[in-house]
Amino acid sequence: MQPSHEARMKLITTTEELAEFCALAHAAPYVTIDTEFLRERTYYSKLCLLQMALPGEEDTESGPAVLVDPLAEGLSLDPFYALLRDESTVKVLHAARQDLEIFYIEGGTLPRPLFDTQIAAMVCGFGDQIGYETLVRKLSKGSIDKSSRFTDWSARPLSEAQLRYALADVTHLRVIYEKLAKRLAATGREAWVAEELATLNDPETYVTRPEDAWRRVKTRNDSGRFLAILRELAGFREDYAQSRNLPRNRVFKDDAMIELAGLKPKSIEDLGRTRLLLREARRGDIAQGILDAVKRGLACPPDALPEPPHARGNIQVNPALADLLRVLLKAKSDETDVAARLIASSADLDALAAGLRDVPALKGWRAIVFGDDAVRLCEGKLGLVVRGDKIKLMAM
């Protein structure tokens, strides 16, 4: 996208300018939003640029669009956060989760109402987690110069190429939103998207609690004692990283944590014998934190030892039934033109094939599209037959 007028490249650096644009946005039916941020050197994302665009008229590139520099001295994002709370203006983003995390952590605010074009595209037949560039090509008939994607967005001044790239993220998004919204209205699937957006608009989605951090660590060791130590180590790392705004891996990496949980070090000398622990973690506050965490894990009473987070991995899955469920899912995905991955996960299918019923695929719109028939298939009340290249359902 090549803006043809300097106004379309406007870079806002004062609170007053931001408030003026947000006043226009409050009166608009929707505003498209995107961000550029850095997270490589910090625990929390550092917001480096905010882009917004309002609806155009006949020319889809004619609506006001601005770039906001959140690093500009004295600029407050309060007018923007007030806009996020204005329920008369739809906030349109693509793959919004990371953007929303920034808004919630920095501004304590989540946008309502929200429209995520990636989720909407999955409901409208564009496949699993479709990329923004693909939607631009298919719906906006445009293209994006991706050369600035991995630049340092915290460096100033920003180049003209960076500004053009950032602005294209929200100007093309207007066309994408309008076309997807029309498709959803025509198919009556707005409620399906609304169900998915409920998770994105839940503050709990963006709260990371140190005591739960161990559940994200992949390990095959199901020993309760091992997991107790792992839980304490992961909790210490999360708390340490949050309090100092450091990436988790700068404290110690997952493989080092798993090694420590197995070795159970009790002294600084023991830490010196680890292979994977960073040198900086073998002394000072981190070293002491590790030793204290191991001590707490070893002292955990037997009745308080954690259970494996992947307990369902031990369920007895009927493999033939799981295969049939996958065939049914493929048929339902083709029939409804909704991404199979959005309808049901592999874990859902295995759980169903093991006789479990408390799975996401049996709730809300998924039950209508797939879940109800999946249960009938599991209970022998539904059969699958092949007719040509199509899978048909047959009552049993």
One of 36, 101, 348, 373 is an active-site residue; which one?
36
Question: Measured between alpha carbons, how far is residue 24 from residues 52, 64, 262 in Å?
Answer: 11, 9, 59
One of 61, 69, 99, 373 is an active-site residue; which one?
99
pLDDT above 90 covers what percent of the chain?
Answer: 83
Specify whether 129 is located in the same domain as 85.
yes
Specify whether 14 is located in the same domain as 149.
yes
Q: Structural domain tally of the chain?
A: 3
Q: What is the DSSP string of 248-301?
A: HHHH--HHHHHHHHHH---SHHHHTT-SSS-GGGGSHHHHHHHHHHHHHHHHS-
What number is the average pLDDT over the span 304-308? 91
- Those residues with Cβ within 8 angstroms of residue 246's Cβ, 6 or more apart along the chain or in another chain: 42, 43, 240
What number is the average pLDDT over the span 55-84? 85
Q: Report the DSSP beta bridge partners of residue 69.
A: none
Q: In what order do the strands lie in the sheet with 90-93?
A: 11-12, 65-68, 46-53, 30-38, 90-93, 114-116
The reply to whether 1 falls in a domain is no
Specify whether 224 is located in the same domain as 360.
no
Structure token digits, residue 86: 């204005």
What number is the average pLDDT over the span 252-268? 97
| Cα of 26 vs its chain's centroid, Å | 27
One of 34, 101, 238, 348 is an active-site residue; which one?
34
Mean pLDDT value across the chain:
92
Specify whether 246 is located in the same domain as 189.
no
Q: Which of 206, 231, 264 is at the close of a domain? A: 206
Q: Quick check: 8 pLDDT over 70? A: no
Q: Which of 257, 283, 304 is at the close of a domain? A: 304
pLDDT above 70 covers what percent of the chain?
Answer: 94
One of 61, 116, 169, 350 is an active-site residue; which one?
169
From the list 169, 126, 125, the residue with the least C-alpha distance to 146 is 169
The reply to whether 300 falls in a domain is yes
Note the pLDDT of residue 311: 53
The CATH number of the domain holding residue 150 is 3.30.420.10
- Those residues with Cβ within 8 angstroms of residue 101's Cβ, 6 or more apart along the chain or in another chain: 45, 205, 206
What number is the average pLDDT over the span 360-365? 96
Residue 191's domain comprises 6-206
Specify whether 372 is located in the same domain as 226.
no
Specify whether 59 is located in the same domain as 141.
yes
Q: Is 81 a catalytic site residue?
A: no
Specify whether 51 is located in the same domain as 197.
yes
Note the pLDDT of residue 146: 74
- Please, how many CA atoms are within 13 Å of residue 57, restricted to the half-sphere of its CB? 0
Q: Which residue has the tokens 């793959």?
A: 95
391's torsion region: left (phi>0), alpha (psi -120 to 50) or beta?
A: beta
Specify whether 88 is located in the same domain as 164.
yes
The reply to whether 286 falls in a domain is yes
Specify whether 81 is located in the same domain as 129.
yes
Note the pLDDT of residue 62: 52
Q: Quick check: 313 pLDDT over 60? A: no
How many DSSP H helices and E strands does the chain contain?
17, 8
What number is the average pLDDT over the span 298-323? 85
Q: Helix, strand or coil for residue 92? A: strand
The reply to whether 130 falls in a domain is yes
For residue 136, the tally of other CB atoms under 10 A from its CB is 22
Q: Is 165 a catalytic site residue?
A: yes
The CATH number of the domain holding residue 381 is 1.10.150
| Residue 82 contacts residue 22 (beta carbons within 8 Å) | yes
- Those residues with Cβ within 8 angstroms of residue 300's Cβ, 6 or more apart along the chain or in another chain: 225, 228, 232
Q: Is 169 a catalytic site residue?
A: yes
Q: Is 30 a catalytic site residue?
A: no
Name the pLDDT band for 4 (thresholds 50, 70, 90): very low
Q: Which of 275, 304, 333 is at the close of a domain? A: 304
Specify whether 18 is located in the same domain as 134.
yes
Note the pLDDT of residue 216: 93
Specify whether 115 is located in the same domain as 34.
yes
| DSSP 8-state secondary structure symbol assigned to residue 53 | E
Q: Quick check: 31 pLDDT over 80? A: yes
Q: Quick check: 343 pLDDT over 60? A: yes
Q: Is 202 a catalytic site residue?
A: no
Specify whether 157 is located in the same domain as 19.
yes
One of 30, 43, 104, 165 is an active-site residue; which one?
165
Name the pLDDT band for 128 (thresholds 50, 70, 90): confident
